[in-house]
C-alpha cells in the first residue's frame, strides 16, 4: 500500500478527469505510474546498452545506405 500527497492543481485535474470519465482516481494514478515506470525501464535499458563495450552502432549514413535511402 502506498500513500502520496498531491499538489492542489494535480488533485483538481485528477478530480475533474475522474468526474468526466466516471472512473476512480486510482485508475488514472495506476495508469500514469505504470506508463512512467515502463518509460523509465526502457530509458535505463537504452542507457545501459549505449555504454556496453560490445554495442554494435552504425552511423546515420550507414543506416540510410543499408535501407536504400
Residue 33 domain-assigned (yes or no): yes
pTM of the predicted model as reported, rounded to 2 decimal places: 0.70
Residue 3 domain-assigned (yes or no): no
Residue 1 domain-assigned (yes or no): no
pLDDT at 12 over 90: yes
Is the Cβ–Cβ distance between 25 and 14 less than 8 Å?
A: yes
Q: What stretch of H or E contains 20?
A: helix 8-21
pLDDT at 6 over 90: yes
Residue 51 domain-assigned (yes or no): yes
* pLDDT tens digits, one per residue of 17-66: 999 999 999 999 999 999 999 999 999 999 998 888 888 888 899 999 99
Q: How many folded domains does the chain comprise?
A: 1
Angle between helices 8-21 and 25-50 (to 10 degrees): 120
Residue 13: predicted pLDDT: 98
Enclosing domain of residue 55: 8-67
Amino acid at each position: 500500500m502506498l500513500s502520496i500527497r498531491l499538489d492542489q492543481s494535480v488533485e483538481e485535474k485528477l478530480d475533474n478527469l475522474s468526474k468526466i470519465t466516471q472512473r476512480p482516481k486510482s485508475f488514472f494514478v495506476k495508469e500514469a505510474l505504470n506508463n512512467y515506470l515502463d518509460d523509465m525501464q526502457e530509458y535505463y535499458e537504452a542507457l545501459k546498452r549505449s555504454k556496453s563495450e560490445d554495442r554494435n552502432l552504425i552511423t546515420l549514413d550507414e543506416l540510410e545506405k543499408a535501407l536504400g535511402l
